[in-house]
Amino acid sequence: MKFTMIFICCLLSLSSVAQEKKSDLDFLQGVWKVSDKEVYEEWLKLEDGNFGGDAYTFVDGTKIIAEVLLISFEDDKVIYEAVIKGQASEQTIPFTLSKIDDVTFSFENLENKFPKKIIYHKRSDDELLVEVKGKKNEGFSYILMRQKP
């Protein structure tokens, strides 16, 4: 009986952690533009509470999707998945949430060749710094600016 109560408490605790993480990411919804390029990320909160997204650009007025993105909440884990069009046989590359606080959420997949980490820093409600890092933290970063509807 005591074990059952502890198990139930643990499950409820994990569930509340997942719910808290979901609400921490709500600000991500919307269209974001890379500050110095015509490259966009768009995030929508899905009916199941997960977040779906696309990274895209426009060529001659046609939207060209470069990446299909998903942030899902599985038990006590938060998974960021990316499918890069035209690369890696378009297989899903999963990254697991390794850090979240008021301003940073970081995802890692140390087995992936590149990137190994994707880190979003919330600089304000309308600006994100995104870092894409590989081995020894080499990589690149860019600023995303929220686009007004």
Ordered domains of the chain (ranges, CATH) = 2-146 (2.40.128)
Phi/psi at 2 (nearest 5 deg)? -60, -45
Q: Is residue 8 very low, low, confident or very high in pLDDT (cuts 50, 70, 90)?
A: very low
Average pLDDT over residues 10-15: 37
First and final C-alpha spacing in the chain: 54
Q: Would strands 77-84 and 39-45 be described as parallel, antiparallel, or unpaired?
A: unpaired
Convert the pLDDT of each residue in 58-87 to its tens digit: 999 999 999 999 999 988 899 999 999 887
Residues 16-64 have pLDDT tens digits of: 444 555 567 888 999 999 999 999 999 999 999 999 999 999 999 999 9
Single pTM value for the model = 0.81
Question: CB–CB of 130/120 below 8 Å?
Answer: yes
Count of CB atoms within 10 A of residue 89's CB? 7
CA 5 to chain centre: 34
- Indicate the residue type of 55: A
Measured CA to CA, the distance from residue 133 to residue 94 in angstroms comes to 15
What pLDDT does residue 10 have? 36
> CA–CA separation, 47 vs 35, rounded Å?
30
Average pLDDT over residues 127-133: 97
What is the SS3 assignment for 125? coil
Q: For 83-126, how does the pLDDT look when each residue is reduced to its tens digit (9 = 90+)?
A: 998 876 788 999 999 998 889 999 999 999 999 999 999 999 99
